[in-house]
Amino acid sequence: MIAYWAGLLGGLVILVLGANLLVKGASRLALAAGITPLVIGLTIVAFGTSAPELAVSVAAAYSGSSALSVANVVGSNIFNILFILGASALVAPLVVNRQLVRFDVPVLIGASVLLYVLAADGSIGFLDSFLLAGLVIAYTSYLIAEARRDQGRAAEAEREAEVAGPASARRMSLVPNLGLIAVGIAGLVLGSHLLVGGAIGLARAFGVSEVIIGLTIVAAGTGLPELATSVMAAIKGARDIAVGNIIGSNIFNILSVLGFSGLASRGRLAVAPEVLAVDIPLAAIAAAACLPLFRTGYEFTRWNGALFLGGYVLYIAWIVLKATGSRALGAFNGILFDVVFPALIIGITVTFVLALRKEKNGIY
């Protein structure tokens, strides 16, 4: 038991240190290479912080625990959007790049819907996995090509110079910046491994099911790199990295992690019925909710962050009530589906419409 707690605490410390190095290296690399922090956040940082999900899911799939692979990815995506985006916005309101609204968020929504379609038969087969892996290669190639075609973004990157520190630091060569990123990613992977190992050990000691572990403890544990990176980026003012990291990580989780996990398991990724019925649709709804909120003044406010954090608390409460067979689940569902969800939909819609009117009238 002591070893499990040591893994939790030690993993958390290493995660924070790794996130700090990753953000510093990524920000300086963006300046040195003339690439916007957004593209860095959507590619290098997003893929790096998704490494724990990839490692855990591939290992689980290869060992035959395919339900844990899928639950880990879906739970991580819910955690990333509702909890991490919410927490980052509470640290500082997040300025949303227009490219995210035009392209990357729609890609995430499309990937989330595609996941539901592929998983509808209760599994993700070999051809499904091959399709997902191919799509992540196409998506990454597109981002890189866009960055190369639009060298004018270097001016925008220069305006983010305060993120990287003094001018002498911004003149660091490419190799040291890549070294910081590599060490940061290694720290995230190691920290996540220690934390997840401790968390799983404690959870199994209390007899919690594999799917529940994947949706909650493992998802939160492998999502901690995104949390540490995005919150650190928000603190340092690298807000493009903060938001781009979350959206990019979720895209990589669906396309890359599930794609390669499915290939590792030879197309035998099982999808639990409860995950298909509740968690995958919730992940898609959370992704879709980002579009109007991001489009509202191209800012994700502290109020939006509190809203998302509240949504995650309700989600965890629902999982706990269901897992324990609580009699309060029926009343909880009634309040959730008859009151909370309709109110949220109406509130987001009204906010979005009012913002569009303000923009049309030249207020933004």
Closest residue by Cα to residue 160 from 104, 228, 92, 241: 241
| Antiparallel, parallel or unpaired: β 269-270 and 123-124 | antiparallel
Question: What digits encode the pLDDT tens for the residues 60-110?
Answer: 777 666 677 788 889 989 999 999 999 989 988 888 888 889 999 999 999
Q: Enter the tokens of residue 1.
A: 């038991």
Question: pTM, whole model, 2 decimals?
Answer: 0.79
Question: What digits encode the pLDDT tens for the residues 206-262?
Answer: 776 767 776 777 777 777 777 877 888 788 777 777 888 899 889 999 998 899 888
C-alpha pair distances (Å), 319 with each of 28, 211, 260, 307, 314: 41, 11, 28, 19, 9
Question: What digits encode the pLDDT tens for the residues 320-355?
Answer: 888 888 889 889 888 888 888 788 788 778 777 877
Vertex 118 angle, CA 67 and 219, to 5°: 35
d(CA 83, CA 75): 11
Phi and psi for 288 in degrees, rounded to 5? Answer: -65, -35
Phi and psi for 350 in degrees, rounded to 5? Answer: -65, -45
d(CA 144, CA 44): 11
Question: What percentage of the chain exceeds 70 in pLDDT?
Answer: 82
Q: Domains in the chain, ordered, with CATH?
A: 2-326 (1.20.1420.30)
Confidence of residue 165 (pLDDT cuts 50, 70, 90): very low
Lowest-confidence pick of 102-116, 135-149, 280-294:
135-149
Q: Sign of the C-alpha dihedral, residues 95, 32, 15, 45?
A: positive
* Residue with the larger pLDDT of the pair 290 and 195: 290
Residue 254 near residue 73 (C-beta atoms within 8 A): yes
